[in-house]
Amino acid sequence: MGIEILGLPLMYYIAMVAKVLVAFVFVLLTVAYATYAERKIIGHMQVRLGPMRTGWHGLLQPIADGVKLFFKEEIVPAQASKFAFLIAPLIALIPAFITFAVIPFGGVIEVAGYKVPLQIAAYYDTAAGQVYDVNVGVLYILAMSSLGVYGIVLAGWASNSKYSLMGGLRASAQMISYELAAGLCIIAVFMLSGTLSLTKIVELQSGMGGFDWYLFKQPLAAFMFFICSLAEINRTPFDLPEAETELVSGFCTEYSSMKYAMFFMAEYANMVTVSAITVTLFLGGWNGPFTAAMPLLGPVYFIAKVYFLIFVCMWIRATLPRYRYDQLMYLGWKVFIPLALVNIVVTGIIGYFL
Amino acid sequence: MNPITPIINGMKITLKHMFMKPVTLQYPDERPKVAERFRGLHALKVSHSKAKCVACYLCPTVCPAKCITVEAGEDANHDKYATVYEIDMLRCIFCGYCVEACPVDALKMTGEFELANYSRQDFIYSKERLLEKQ
């Protein structure tokens, strides 16, 4: 039956590549339209209209923005460290996207007789009859989200400008502090699930018509994880690295054209990623009613949940002013980390007696 | 006071505002309704198909911005009239004193507010441009 590579038919590889492409293009489009959605939602929350004039109700705005940025002049400051300056946007952007490799966005679907799990880094073993994915998926996510900091710190350092440097410093301090608290929140989830594989974590949340979600078992961890994630990706109210009142534009002050667009995309891609991780860990991933009968409903539920969380991010942005730097550090070290530790201890005690 | 309640209250307010009707006016498509007494572009009132102005020089006298130029002349009926009546819209502050000062009610202010132009010369409105549109 046709050409075989490593014991698997060609069609299987085509299906896998198609899955990766569809997922990637979908994430890219979501990132592009997240900018539009943000402007629209914040606009309406301020009783304005938001973009209206590019296409019907401004629907072509992200494309217009992209084209504009693409044709802008590339400026590299004379005193900048060239190589680091050029590579920093890529280092910020790539981790934001590759995190998606381990996030399951649906169950197993059948394409042309082959079972394809809807998760990029996973395959369905027909002999064993189960899905194999990266069994340390969450560690991979944590590693990638830490890598994102390098892009921002490098950008701040390489620009050779005081505002950029301050922005980069703030970003590194903030991301490292909040990563601890976010990591501790995830530990509470591991204590319940007993596995680091995201597919398993989603499976464990499938029962009881939605009441098996870790949101209900770990409400404190869920809220803290979401807020820490906001801080980690520099969203408002924790967007100190680009606090324009003090730092012009923070680490991306000296960037222009597509390099600036890459930072912008990285910010929104991070937001999508963080929402997807929160959905996977706490909101039952792609689980929902009737997914067993219709596997294609899985991605629909997943997307709906992710979009809801993205909406919450924008909602928070429209509501809250920026934290002061000392308040931010206080919140991270003196509130979230102790709370997360207490949460782990309580989870441990309850888990021991149940 | 606990720090969570104000955040939740704020979120409620923003959510409520999201469902309000936006106040935005889609300007070139939608026109604002200017107030009846809005002080926009001047117009010289017309009576019996000629301007009512008698060139009494009260408006250039009262004008705080000194933007009105009037030159008087005599017409066929030996009546005084303005041969030149110019307002420099770059200097005008739209205070409306000229309208108040006019003894013959020859001047008014319209709701016209789009006064952009391409050259400085175009901002000096001559008598022909100021005449009331019928």
pLDDT per residue over B90-130, tens digit each?
999 999 999 999 999 999 998 888 889 899 999 999 988 88
The confidence score (pLDDT) of residue A91 equals: 87
Q: What is the C-alpha to C-alpha distance for residues B57 and B68, in angstroms, rounded to an integer?
A: 9
Residue A39 within any structural domain of the chain: no
Which residues of chain A lie closer than 8 angstroms to B26, CB-CB?
49, 52
More confident residue, B3 or A270: A270
Q: What is the C-alpha to C-alpha distance for residues B49 and B52, in angstroms, rounded to an integer?
A: 9
Residue A42 within any structural domain of the chain: no
The confidence score (pLDDT) of residue A109 equals: 75
SS3 readout for chain B: CCCHHHHHHHHHHHHHHHCCCCCCCCCCCCCCCCCCCCCCCEEECEECCEECCCCCCHHHHHCCCCCEEEEEEECCCCCEEEEEEEEECCCCCCCCHHHHHCCCCCEEECCCCCCCCCCHHHHEECHHHHECCC
B interface mutation test: which of A52, A54, A319 has the most B CBs within 10 A?
A319
The confidence score (pLDDT) of residue A209 equals: 67
The confidence score (pLDDT) of residue A112 equals: 64
The confidence score (pLDDT) of residue B95 equals: 92
What's the whole-number mean pLDDT along residues B85-90? Answer: 92
The confidence score (pLDDT) of residue B104 equals: 92
Q: Count of CB atoms within 10 A of residue A348's CB?
A: 13
Contacts of B105 (CB under 8 A, 6+ apart): B45, B52
Q: What domain range is A101 assigned to? A: 73-110+124-353
Question: What burial class does residue A2 get, using C-beta atoms within 10 Å of its C-beta: 0-12 exposed, 13-18 middle, 19+ buried?
Answer: exposed
Number of domains into which chain A is organized: 1
The answer, yes or no, to whether residue B9 has pLDDT greater than 70, is: yes
Cβ–Cβ of B17/A316 closer than 8 Å? no
Cβ–Cβ of A45/B10 closer than 8 Å? no
Cβ–Cβ of B23/A47 closer than 8 Å? yes
Note whether A126 contacts B: Cβ–Cβ < 8 A: no
Report which DSSP code applies to A189. H
A24-38, A105-119, A334-348, B58-72: which range is least confident on average?
Answer: A105-119
CA distance A240 to chain B (A): 19
A187: closest CA among A227, A224, A232, A134? A224
The confidence score (pLDDT) of residue B87 equals: 92
Q: A105: helix, coil or strand?
A: coil
Which of B14, B21, B26 has its CB closest to that of A315? B14
pLDDT more than 90, % of chain A:
3
What's the whole-number mean pLDDT along residues B4-21? Answer: 88
pLDDT digits (tens, 9 = 90+) for B33-68: 889 899 999 999 998 888 888 999 999 999 999 999
CA distance B39 to chain A (A): 27
The confidence score (pLDDT) of residue A203 equals: 79
The confidence score (pLDDT) of residue B61 equals: 93
Cβ–Cβ of B17/A46 closer than 8 Å? yes
Mean residue pLDDT across chain A: 83
The confidence score (pLDDT) of residue A243 equals: 67
CA distances from B65 to B62, B90, B115 (A): 9, 10, 18
The confidence score (pLDDT) of residue B89 equals: 92
CA distance B23 to chain A (A): 6
Cβ–Cβ of A315/B7 closer than 8 Å? no
Residue A160 within any structural domain of the chain: yes
The residue extents of the domains of chain B are 32-130
Note whether B14 contacts A: Cβ–Cβ < 8 A: yes
The answer, yes or no, to whether residue A118 has pLDDT greater than 90, is: no
What's the whole-number mean pLDDT along residues A126-136? Answer: 74
Report which DSSP code applies to A55. S
Note whether B32 contacts A: Cβ–Cβ < 8 A: no
Q: How far is CA B34 from the centre of its chain?
A: 11
CA distances from B74 to B51, B69, B71, B80 (A): 13, 17, 10, 5
HSE toward the beta carbon, residue A147, CA cutoff 13 A: 18
The answer, yes or no, to whether residue A319 has pLDDT greater than 80, is: yes
CA distance B112 to chain A (A): 25
Residue A254 within any structural domain of the chain: yes
The answer, yes or no, to whether residue A141 has pLDDT greater than 70, is: yes
Cβ–Cβ of B17/A320 closer than 8 Å? no
What is chain A's Cα-based Rg?
Answer: 21
Q: Report the top-level CATH class of B32-130.
A: alpha beta
pLDDT more than 70, % of chain A:
94
The answer, yes or no, to whether residue B30 has pLDDT greater than 60, is: yes
The answer, yes or no, to whether residue A106 has pLDDT greater than 80, is: no
When pLDDT is cut at 50, 70 and 90, the band that residue A136 belongs to is confident
Cβ–Cβ of A319/B23 closer than 8 Å? no
Q: A311 to chain B: nearest residue by CA?
A: B15
Structure tokens at A207: 């029962």
Q: The whole model's pTM is what?
A: 0.82
The answer, yes or no, to whether residue A18 has pLDDT greater than 80, is: yes
The confidence score (pLDDT) of residue B88 equals: 92
Report which DSSP code applies to A2. -
The answer, yes or no, to whether residue A308 has pLDDT greater than 80, is: yes
The confidence score (pLDDT) of residue A210 equals: 65
When pLDDT is cut at 50, 70 and 90, the band that residue A2 belongs to is low
What's the whole-number mean pLDDT along residues A319-346? Answer: 87
The confidence score (pLDDT) of residue A58 equals: 84
The confidence score (pLDDT) of residue B70 equals: 92
What's the whole-number mean pLDDT along residues A91-103? Answer: 86
Which of A47, A315, A319 has its CB closest to that of B22? A47
More confident residue, A20 or A113: A20
Contacts of A300 (CB under 8 A, 6+ apart): A288
Residue A9 within any structural domain of the chain: no
What's the whole-number mean pLDDT along residues A198-211? Answer: 76
Q: B15 to chain A: nearest residue by CA?
A: A45
Which residues of chain B lie closer than 8 angstroms to A58, CB-CB?
none
Q: A13: helix, coil or strand?
A: helix
Cβ–Cβ of B13/A319 closer than 8 Å? yes
CA distance A315 to chain B (A): 7
Q: What is the C-alpha to C-alpha distance for residues A167 and A157, in angstroms, rounded to an integer?
A: 9
The confidence score (pLDDT) of residue B119 equals: 92
Q: Looking at the DSSP assignment, which residues form a beta bridge with residue B82?
A: B72
**Cis upstream peptide for A237 (omega within 30°):** yes
Which of A44, A52, A320 has its CB closest to that of B18? A44
Note whether A312 contacts B: Cβ–Cβ < 8 A: no
The confidence score (pLDDT) of residue A173 equals: 84
How high is the ipTM of this complex? 0.72
CA distance B33 to chain A (A): 19
The answer, yes or no, to whether residue A128 has pLDDT greater than 90, is: no
